[in-house]
């Protein structure tokens, strides 16, 4: 989808050779926690150059290929595949293409307190830049948001906002390309995978740490940094997800599922409700369609 340069909002650069863009709500309500205003994909022209002292929305951009240069208030970075950066109201920025290899990039403009908090979780508050070693998952997430934004149905704004939230959560789970954080993220993934494979035999955080060959203190730091939860809570989620599957399959009562997980029925009910938001008994009633 191309955009006539005469119809472009004032903040969108016409210095592109090809583009797919959507415009949903350029005057979003301040009360909404997360609203996608516009976004798209652009193949920049060799003379692509943007310099702004301000911007009306929060914005995230991802470079899919090509090269360029980025200047934000806190520094200057080379742009290449995997570069992801953000800016927003009150954040001066300059983006320029390498004329010999202009960038192809994605961008999303949005508003809302939830959007700002998700950027914080991703270590990408406005004025920040990171480099992702494997940006493929994030590229797919951008494509999902763009596809939703190009919809014409009455739920397009809501669906796009949900895909935007998924994109920002995906970004929060993406490792950076250099430094110790990437190594710690890979260790976190291995520990999380261990929990997901062995949740029936693991019962405490100490057992998880031993199974993962790390210290309990380091395991807790990994999950606080990359998972925003404790390793024990991750274990409970896996166990309660399995419990829900057992209850949903039929043929088992709550007490039997609790015993299978080696839990006291009362404690099992409390943990199940904490994870799923409803008690096991209420879960079964909803499954059977009774009130």
Same domain (yes/no): 275, 189:
yes
Overall domain count for the chain: 2
The label of the residue with tokens 């009633």 reads 285
Of 172, 196, 223, which closes a domain? 172
The label of the residue with tokens 């909803």 reads 286
Same domain (yes/no): 189, 129:
no
Same domain (yes/no): 46, 133:
yes
* Residue 248 structural domain: 180-288
Measured between its terminal Cα atoms, the distance across the chain in Å is 49
The two three-digit tokens of residue 118, written as one number: 């998700």
How far apart, in whole angstroms, are the C-alpha atoms of residue 193 and residue 197? 6
How far apart, in whole angstroms, are the C-alpha atoms of residue 289 and residue 270? 22
Q: pLDDT tens, position by position, for the chain (291 residues)?
A: 334 444 677 788 889 999 999 999 888 887 889 999 999 999 999 999 999 999 999 999 999 999 999 998 767 889 999 899 999 999 999 999 999 999 999 999 999 999 999 998 888 889 988 888 778 889 999 999 999 999 888 899 999 999 999 999 988 877 654 444 556 777 888 899 999 999 999 999 999 999 999 888 889 988 887 777 899 999 999 999 999 999 988 778 899 999 989 889 999 999 999 888 899 988 888 776 654
Strand partners, 187: none
């Amino acid at each position: 989808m191309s955009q006539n340069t005469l119809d472009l909002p004032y903040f969108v650069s016409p210095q592109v050779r090809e583009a797919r863009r959507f415009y949903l709500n350029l005057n979003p309500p301040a009360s909404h926690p997360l609203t996608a205003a516009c976004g798209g994909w652009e193949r920049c022209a060799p003379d692509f150059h943007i310099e702004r002292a301000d911007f009306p929305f929060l914005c995230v951009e991802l470079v899919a290929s090509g090269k360029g240069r980025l200047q934000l208030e806190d520094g200057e970075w080379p742009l290449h595949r995997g570069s992801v950066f953000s800016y927003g109201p009150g954040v001066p920025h300059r983006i320029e293409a390498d004329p010999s290899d202009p960038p192809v990039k994605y961008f999303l403009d949005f508003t809302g307190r939830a959007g700002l908090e998700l950027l914080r979780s991703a270590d990408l508050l406005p004025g920040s830049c990171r480099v992702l070693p494997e940006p493929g998952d994030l590229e797919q997430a951008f494509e999902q948001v763009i596809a939703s934004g190009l919809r014409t149905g009455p739920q397009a704004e809501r669906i796009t906002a949900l895909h935007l939230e998924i994109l920002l959560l995906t970004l929060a789970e993406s490792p950076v390309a250099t430094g110790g954080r990437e190594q710690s993220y890979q260790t976190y993934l291995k520990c999380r995978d261990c929990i997901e494979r062995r949740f029936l035999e693991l019962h405490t955080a100490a057992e998880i740490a031993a199974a993962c060959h790390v210290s309990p203190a380091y395991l807790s730091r990994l999950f606080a940094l990359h998972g925003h939860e404790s390793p024990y809570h991750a274990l409970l989620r896996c166990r309660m997800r399995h419990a829900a599957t057992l209850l949903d399959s039929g043929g088992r009562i709550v007490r039997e599922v609790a015993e299978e997980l080696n839990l006291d029925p009362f404690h099992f009910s409390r943990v199940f409700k904490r994870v799923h938001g409803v008690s096991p008994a209420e879960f079964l009633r909803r499954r059977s369609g009774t009130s």
